[in-house]
Chains A and B, each alone.
Chain A
Amino acid sequence: MIPKPHGGRLVNRVAKGKRREALLEEAGELPSIEISYERLIDLLDIAYGAFSPLEGFLLQEDYLHVLYDMRLSNDLPWTIPVVLDADPDEIADVKEGDDIALKHNDETYAVMRVEEIYGWDKKEYARQVYKTTDPEHPGVAKTYRRKELLIGGEIDFIGEFRHPLENRILWPIETRVLFREKKWRTIVAFQTRNVPHRGHEYVQKAALTFTDGLLIHPLIGWKKPGDYRDEVIFAAYEALVKYYYPKNVVVLAGLLMNMNYAGPREAIHHAIVRKNFGATHFIVGRDHAGVGDYYGPYEAWEIFDEFPDLGITPLFIREAFYCRKCGGMVNEKICPHGEEYRVKISGTKIRKMIREGKIPPEYMMRPEVAKVILSFNDPFVH
C-alpha cells in the first residue's frame, strides 16, 4: 500500500487561480530578497510536497531540533535542516511578521511570511550535519559560503519554473497518482547521481524481485565537478531500461533536489523524501551520499537503527561484483569465492574509460549504455 506522506499530509504550497493572482500583485509591493538557485530548488521541494511536512523554511526551534536530535520539534524524523539564509543588510528593513518576496535572477517565485529571523553557527552546522568542519568537504564549503542570518516561515509558490529537463521531473502527487494507476502496492526507490553500471542494475533487480515496481530517481540539481551531467544520466538509464528491464515495472523520473554529500544524515533524508513520492522501500547504498572518506562505508546503514518510526523500509543490499567462478554478478553474502575470482565494478575506473572515449567491458557496463554516454561530447559537470 502506498504510504501516507511524512507527517500524514502531502504539502501543497503552490498558489493557484485567484489566490496566485492576488499574491503576485502583493509581491510587487513587498520587499524582496534574491535567493540562490539551490534555495530555489528547496523552495520547489517544499511547495510541491517533496519535503512534506515542511510548509516553509525552518524556524529556530525546529532548526535546533533537526541539528541536534535529527527530528522536528514534534518528534518527526528529519535530518537535514532546510533553511533560508540572508545578509543582514538585505533584510535590514524586514521584521518578524512581514511578508517578503523571494526572487531568483530578479524573477519572483514566492511570497514568504517572515515568522522568525535568527542567527546560526555555520561551523556547528557543519559539525552536526556533515560530521566535519573541513572546508574541503563540498557540503561544508557550501555551508561556509552561505549568508549570516536565517529566515524562517511559510511560503507560497507563485512563480513559473522552467527547466531543460522539466518533462522528466515528476512531483510527489504525480508519482502517487502514477503508482495507483499502475496498481503497484510496493515500490522500491533507487537514488542516483550516476550513470548505471552492472552493479547498480544488480541491486535494482534484486530489490525489484520482491516489489511491484522500481522508481529510478536521479537527482537533478547541484552536483560537484566530475559528476555526470543530468541529461547524460537520463539518456543512459533510458537505454538500460529499454534493453534490460521488463515493460511496466520501472518508472524513471527526475527528482529536483540538492545533493549535500552529508552521508548518513542524507540517507535518512533521501528515504523520507522517497516516502513522500509514494515509495514503500528505499535502497540504501554503501557509503550512501558520501564523499571522500568522511563517512564509514556502512554508517549510512547503521543510522537507520535510530529511526524505527521512519515509515519507509530501507533495503541494505550489499555492493555487487562480478565473480568469475560464479559466472555472474553477485555480492559477498551469496558468493563463497575468494578475492582472486572477484572483479569489482569501479565507478572511478568507468569514468576514466569514458573520459578516454573507451567502452568499458560488458561485465562493468552494458554496451548500449556506454554508447549512449559516449555519444555526448562532454558527459561531465565542470
Chain B
Amino acid sequence: MSEEKVKIEITLPKKLYEKLVEEGREAGFDDINSFIIYVLEQLIETSGGEEISEEEEEKIKERLRALGYID
C-alpha cells in the first residue's frame, strides 16, 4: 500500500543541497530523497488536520468551560 509518488526535477543552490545531505545524514536518513520529503512534510504538517464545524468547536468549548479547563 505504498503511496504513489511523482518524479519531478527541481534546481537547488549547491550549498543548500550540500547542507541538506549533511543534515539528512546526521538526522539518520539513508538518502537525501527521504530527508527532503520529511522536511517538506514537516513544513506542511503544522496545524490543521481536524475536520470540525464551528458548531462542534463551540460545543467542545462549552464542555471545556463546564469542566473548568477554560474560563
Contact = CB atoms under 8 A, between A and B. Distances in A.
B3 A9 contact: no
A75 to B, nearest CB: 7
A178 B64 contact: yes
A347 B42 CA distance: 38
Contacts of B64: 170, 174, 177-178, 181
A61 B60 contact: no
Interface string A152-191: 0000000000000001101001101110011000000000
Contact of A8 (B28, B45, B60): B45
B42 A61 contact: no
A311 B45 contact: yes
Given A3-B46, A74-B3, A308 B38 contact: yes
Contacts of B29: 308
Main secondary structure of the interface of B (DSSP, over half): loop
Contacts of B28: 305-306, 308
A181 B46 CA distance: 17
Contact of A177 (B1, B27, B42, B60): B60
Nearest to B48: A4
Contacts of B42: 311
Interface in B28-71: 28-29, 38, 41-42, 45-52, 57, 60-61, 63-64, 67, 69-70
Contacts of A10: 49-51
Main secondary structure of the interface of A (DSSP, over half): loop
Contacts of A1: 46-47
A132 interface: no
B1 A176 contact: no
Nearest to A311: B45
Contacts of A167: 67
Contacts, number: 65
Given A177-B60, A177-B61, A8 B69 contact: no
Contacts of A168: 67
A12 interface: yes
B11 interface: no
Which of A1, A2, A74, A308 lies at the interface centre, i.e. has the most chain B CB atoms within 10 A of its CB? Answer: A308
Interface string A310-340: 0100000000000000000000000000000
A73 interface: yes
A170 B61 CA distance: 12
A10 B45 CA distance: 12
Contacts of A253: 69
Nearest to A181: B70
Interface string B1-22: 1110000000000000000000
A118 B45 CA distance: 34
A73 B51 contact: no
A311 B49 CA distance: 14
Contact of B50 (A61, A170, A176, A251): A176
B3 A177 contact: no
Interface in A64-122: 73-75
Contacts of A4: 45-49
A309 interface: yes
A293 to B, nearest CB: 28
Contact of B57 (A2, A8, A177, A251): A177
B51 A2 contact: no
Contacts of B57: 177
A5 interface: yes
B37 to A, nearest CB: 9
Contacts of A174: 60, 63-64
Given A177-B57, A305-B28, 12 more contacts: A1-B46, A1-B47, A2-B47, A3-B46, A12-B51, A61-B1, A74-B2, A167-B67, A174-B60, A177-B61, A309-B38, A311-B45
8 contacts: A4-B46, A4-B49, A8-B45, A73-B1, A73-B2, A173-B60, A181-B61, A309-B38
